[in-house]
Structure formats: structure tokens, C-alpha cells
Structure 1
Amino acid sequence: MSQNYPIGTPGQPWGEAEKQQWFAAQRKQRDYGNDVVRRIEHLRELFQVDSYGELNYAEARFPLFVVRNRNWNPKLPTALVTGGVHGYETSGVQGALYFLETEALNHLAHFNIVVAPCLSPWGYETINRWNPAAIDPNRSFYPHSPAQEVALLMAYMQEQGLAPQVHIDLHETTDTDNSEFRPALAARDGVTHDNWSIPDGFYLCADAKRPTPEFQRAVIEAVKSVTHIAPADAHGCLIGSPMVQEGVIHYDGKGLGLCMGMTDATYVTTTEVYPDSPNTNPVECVDAQVAAIRGGLEYAAKHLPK
């Protein structure tokens, strides 16, 4: 059911005063430098680490990093992994880093690898879906984006001439989607949102314009060895969208400004882990993200044109 939110007037979109009130209520709860940057620095022994900009907010600055293989082979396709588009989604960030630490080198015979582990450091530290301006980065992947997190990465991709053939974007669906983030979204926009049932398990959001069902199936099969796949709800849906095959729904990536719509990759998907399930734990959630990347890359290596 719909929930009231303590900021704003029901039915009226937020103005600048309400956004500032929301921002003032946020608090740092973990440290990007220790949790993320420290691990990226350790990766310099094996990978090229590029700084692609800095988020400059009033209270803090956050350097942004991409990790990529050193000996770039222009004859190979490129695979992009993104994490932390929604900073609060922990296993997306930790999964991207753990993939680099344990798996990425295994795929360099078939791909150039590019990983942006944490697009939204402020969101990571304050456990937020939005950035400080109450903008959702994962609805802002379009030209002249108002989200710094998005604009800086898109500029880097363009400057580097990166055109990935595979893009795997790492996310979570959490209980706080219903308790905090959807009510906040409804309040910000002055509308009503009914809460959805949070799927218990892993699932994928594929691009409706590039569905690639066999690729999605390969990712699901890889994850099955690590954690459980979310069943459809009583209406045959996951988060309000019809389940088109086991553990898979469709969204319009480019139309909604999603990260998975940022490129024209042949194979693209968004992972969704449910860390609040009683049937999983934080380590398993990270392992599921890595398994998803592995399954996607192994499939793409066999099916992309040589």
C-alpha cells in the first residue's frame, strides 16, 4: 500500500526547499575511501586504473575510477561492468571489485574489460538511491544528464572511444525500496506509488529493445549454482513487470534513462540481488554478482562474431 512521507505536501512535487530538507537529513554511514578506493588502489599492480573525474559536492569530494586491462587489444570486443549506480546497493559495488580481484584476468583472452565499480560514492556512503540533488542516476543516462555521476562516466566513455559489446550492470532490490525509496520518489514527484512485492531471490532486468533471451538464460543458469532465483508473484510479475522467462523481466533501457541503455551493446542486462532474503547472506550476494558476470561473458565469448 502507499505510504506517506515526512517531507513535502501530498500531491505536490518537491521544490528546492523540500530537496534541501531531504538532503539535510542524510548522514554518512560508511566510507568510500576505505571500502572502495583502497581496494582499487591495490588493483593497480595488475590493471590500468583511470580517474575519470571527481564529484564535487558541498560537503565532500569523491574521485571516480575505471579499472581496465593494461594491454588493450583492439581486435577483441569490450565488456563493460558497472556497479554502484545506486550507491546503497552494496553487492553491486562489492561484486564489481571482487570480479576484478578474482575473475577478470581469466576473460582477457576474449575481451577487453572495463569496470566502473562505484558510480555513486555519495550514495554509497549515505546508503541512498539518489544523489545529493535528489536525482536518481539510474533514470538519468541520456545526453546532458543532470546527474554528475552519469555525465562524467558518459564523457569518459566517449573520450576513450569505448563501444562495449557486453554490458552488465550490477544492482540490488532491497526491502528499503518499499520502506524508503518508493515513498520518497512518490513524495518528490507529488504522485502515488503502490508498493510492490519484493522478489525473494536473484533476477535480471533485460532491455526490451535487446532482449537476447539465451544470453539472459545463461546468466541465470550461472547464478543458480550460487543462490536462488526469484519466482514470479501471484500475478506472474517481478516488481510489477511480467516475468518473460525464468528470473527475467524487461525494461526500456534507453527510454527510461537506465545505465543499461547507455551503450549499444549486443548483450546487456541488469542484475538484481535480494540481500534481505532469509535464504542468503552478504557473501553469497557478492558471489552471485560475480557468477552473473562470468555467465554473461562466457556466453558472449561463444556467440559474438569473431
Structure 2
Amino acid sequence: MQQYPIGTPDKPWTEEDKAEWKAQQQIQRRYKDEVLAKLPDELPGFSIVKYGALPYDETRYPLFAVVSETLDENKPTVLITGGVHGYETSGVQGALQFINGTLSSYQQDFNFVVVPCVSPWGYETINRWNPLAIDPNRSFQPNSLAPESAQLMAFIASLNAPIAMHIDLHETTDTDNSEFRPALAARNGTVNENWNIPDGFYLVTDSENPQLSFQEAVIAAVREVTHIAPADENNKLIGAAVLSEGVIGYNKKALYLCGGMTDAKYVTTTEVYPDSPSATAEGCNKAQIAAIEGGLAYLKKQIS
């Protein structure tokens, strides 16, 4: 297997290695044009809240959420996050399309906190990490070193509203094997082992709180717009055992994943596969929206 071009084999990256990696990253798209410009100026019943800014460039990377104007304690609060991994495009664009599309039609039943792009530097450079070579989606922990994670956690805590459902929008791409997993192994001084990239949509539930009927409702909704990833010959997806069709589980709190940042009863991480021969950008966005709406339909039945 070819050695990653940065670092020394079997040794974790030094600060110089991290600086070399950062110097190779390039702006490939504009957060201002592709995200900020798509946020509504006004949305009846909602506030467009600036909850922070990334210290790398606070002017370039303000952080926004769309939040119900009143967090009614008689309604469940739903958290939707996209772009924790900035390169996973449909998570960001799907969240924005949901905001500008059907979000308002659900406000009678739910409070919402929608954060369309948690990692705007990652979005612009098409990166899994932030410029510190830290994965925000492994950094939702006390005293987090990832500003993306720390600022989102502080914002959610400041709302003082228990979260009933959290849907975290992600993708699994072919570049996970070609770039991001080799980079991770090089950074940590370990040996990379690629996994089979599933062809299709799947979910990652919390292994400590799987709520499989909820996961199955989301899968059923997504199946209407795209195909569900089949298990491999070992009945696994990305090395994890399949719990139900298209569903695997991780211990989200132990891994400091975004999906573990609250105590929500219903939690799932979507995984869209944009590199499928049958995939389109719009189809991937629709899959993310279908996952959100499938989750909302399920939650509405539970509170009816």
C-alpha cells in the first residue's frame, strides 16, 4: 500500500506535518455563495441566528442556525445538523433545501434548530477535518479542541431546550478510502485498512439506544427516493454489523460524535452515497430531506 505523502511511517504527525498538510489545502468553493446566500433573509416563525464564527477567519466563517422563534415546551424540539464533515455536500445542501422548502409546514408540531453547515472551512476546502487536522465529528466532548464542535455544543446548551430528535446529515464517499482514511492513519501513525464503500443509503444509530423502529421508518422514507445499501458478505456496512436493513450502530457518546452531543431519544446519522453510478446531486439532497421528513412523521405518531 502506498505511503501517505505527509509524515513518517508508524509515527504520529508532528506540528510541522500538520502545517504541511494544511498548506496543501485549497479553497474549492465558496461558503458565502453556496451556503450563506441560500439562508432566507426572513422565515415566518423562525429566527436566523448567528451563534458563532470560526477563529480561522471570523468574517469569512460566521456560523448560523435557523431556530424556532419560540421554543414551546409543549412541542418536541428537533435538531438537524449538516456539514459536520464539510466535504459531505448533500448534508449541507439538503438541510438548506429543507429550510427553504417544507420546514415551515412542520412548525405547528415541532420546535426546530437547523444548523446547515457546522464546518464551513471544511465545506470550502472539501475536507473531513478542520485546518488543525482535527475531525469535528470526533470532537463533541468537554473542552473540545475543534471550534466547530465547541461552538455548536455551547449554542445548543444555551437554548436550554431538551432535544427529542437529532438527525445528523452525512455522506460516505469514495474519497473516504482514497484520501481521508489514509490521511487519518498517517496522522495517527497507524496502518490504514480501507473498508468496503456501500453502494446506497444507510443510517448509523446509537448502539446504546438504537430505536430500530425509528431507524426503519427513516429507511422506508428514503427508499422512496434512492436505494438502500445492501450488507456485504459478512452482513456488515463499513465494518459494522447490520442491525436492520441499512442500519448500523456506533457508540456515539463514546466516540464523541455529533449524534451523541444531546440526550435525544431519537438519533440517527444519515449516510448518502453520492458516488453511486445512479446518483445525482439533486437525488442526494432529496434523500437527506426524505430522511428528515421520515423521522418527523415517525415522531409525530409518537406524540399523537
Fold shared, TM-score > 0.5 on shorter chain: yes
| Structure 1 range deviating more: 112-121 or 32-41 | 32-41
Q: Closer, same or farther in 2 for the Cα pair 1:191/1:112, shift >3 Å?
A: same
Q: Specify the alignment match of 2:82 in structure 1.
A: 83
Q: Specify the alignment match of 1:200 in structure 2.
A: 199
**Any conservation in 2 of the 1:43–1:101 contact (CA below 8 Å)?**
no
Asked if 1:239 corresponds to 2:215, the answer is no
Structure 2 distance, partners of 1:185, 1:95, is 27
Structure 1 distance, partners of 2:113, 2:45, is 13
**Any conservation in 1 of the 2:40–2:100 contact (CA below 8 Å)?**
no
**Any conservation in 2 of the 1:222–1:295 contact (CA below 8 Å)?**
yes
AA of the residue aligned to 1:119? V
| Structure 1 range deviating more: 38-47 or 293-302 | 38-47
Structure 2 distance, partners of 1:58, 1:263, is 28
Runs of 4+ in 1 over 4 A off after TM superposition: 43-46
Q: Specify the alignment match of 2:180 in structure 1.
A: 181
Asked if 1:143 corresponds to 2:142, the answer is yes
Q: Specify the alignment match of 1:270 in structure 2.
A: 269
Instruction: Write the mapping of 1:114-263 to structure 2, written as runs, cut at 5 A.
Output: 114-263=113-262
Deviations 1:195-232 (A, max 9, x none): 01100000000000110000000000000000000000
Deviations 1:8-40 (A, max 9, x none): 011000010000000000000000001001111
**Any conservation in 1 of the 2:53–2:59 contact (CA below 8 Å)?**
no
AA of the residue aligned to 2:75? L
Q: Specify the alignment match of 2:297 in structure 1.
A: 298
Gap regions ≥5 residues in structure 1: none
Deviations 1:243-292 (A, max 9, x none): 11100000000000000000000000000000000021110000000000
Q: Specify the alignment match of 1:34 in structure 2.
A: 33
AA of the residue aligned to 2:107? L
**Any conservation in 1 of the 2:71–2:77 contact (CA below 8 Å)?**
no
**Any conservation in 1 of the 2:218–2:294 contact (CA below 8 Å)?**
yes
Structure 2 distance, partners of 1:247, 1:187, is 30
Identity of aligned pairs, percent? 57
Structure 2 distance, partners of 1:3, 1:195, is 12
Q: Using structure 2 for the length normalisation, give the TM-score.
A: 0.97
Q: Using structure 1 for the length normalisation, give the TM-score.
A: 0.96
| Structure 1 range deviating more: 272-281 or 66-75 | 66-75
Deviations 1:78-123 (A, max 9, x none): 0000000000000000011111111111211211011000000000
| Structure 1 range deviating more: 56-65 or 234-243 | 56-65
Structure 2 distance, partners of 1:211, 1:291, is 20
AA of the residue aligned to 2:34? D
AA of the residue aligned to 2:260? G
**Any conservation in 2 of the 1:141–1:150 contact (CA below 8 Å)?**
yes
Q: CA deviation at 1:72?
A: 3.4
**Any conservation in 2 of the 1:203–1:247 contact (CA below 8 Å)?**
yes
Q: CA deviation at 1:58?
A: 5.9
Structure 2 distance, partners of 1:43, 1:288, is 26
AA of the residue aligned to 2:168? D
Q: Specify the alignment match of 1:110 in structure 2.
A: 109
Aligned length, in residue pairs: 304
Structure 2 distance, partners of 1:4, 1:60, is 37
Structure 1 distance, partners of 2:157, 2:91, is 24
Structure 2 distance, partners of 1:168, 1:293, is 7
Q: CA deviation at 1:301?
A: 1.3
Structure 2 distance, partners of 1:251, 1:244, is 11
Q: Specify the alignment match of 2:53 in structure 1.
A: 54
| Structure 1 range deviating more: 124-133 or 43-52 | 43-52
